[in-house]
Amino acid sequence: MNYNKTFIIAKAGVNHNGSLELAKKLIDIAAEAGADAVKFQTFKAEKSISIHAQKAGYQKQTTDASESQLDMVRKLELDEAAHEELFAYCCSMDIQFLSTPFDLDSIDLLNKLGLKIDKISGSWRY
């Protein structure tokens, strides 16, 4: 890594809404914009969200108010196969795949993919 160059990260987060095709479009846009990396989020909803968690007011307005917070977040999960596909797609687009893991299994998955950088709770590990 060149520490004398600004490293630009496009934050995709969960804006793919659980869609692999939309995630690829976010990668395309990030690559076209000249970003060095695109960052997603990696998690298992059951490991991060309580079954008793309530949705925020804005979430109730923009999603199905009758579904739980857990069910809403489950729709945003990307499984291992999706991560592998997005990682490979990033390589083909010459942009680095990054992700923020939210649980230990997600850290293991990202390590398995061979990410060069991890984003964990507001800090970076090189």
Has residue 4 been placed in a domain? no
Has residue 95 been placed in a domain? yes
Has residue 3 been placed in a domain? no
Q: State which residues form the domain around 57.
A: 9-125
Domains contained in the chain, number: 1
The per-residue pLDDT for range 4-58, each reduced to its tens digit, is 889 999 999 888 989 999 999 999 999 999 999 999 999 898 888 888 888 777 8
What is this structure's pTM? Answer: 0.84
The per-residue pLDDT for range 7-22, each reduced to its tens digit, is 999 999 888 989 999 9
Has residue 1 been placed in a domain? no
Has residue 67 been placed in a domain? yes
Has residue 16 been placed in a domain? yes
Has residue 2 been placed in a domain? no
**Confidence at 2, pLDDT banded by 50, 70, 90:** low
DSSP string of the chain, one letter each residue: --TTS---EEEEETTTTT-HHHHHHHHHHHHHTT-SEEEEEE--HHHHS-TTPPPPHHHHHHS-TTS-HHHHHHTT---HHHHHHHHHHHHHTT-EEEEEE-SHHHHHHHHHHT-S-EEETTEEE-
What CATH number has the domain bearing residue 65? 3.20.20.70
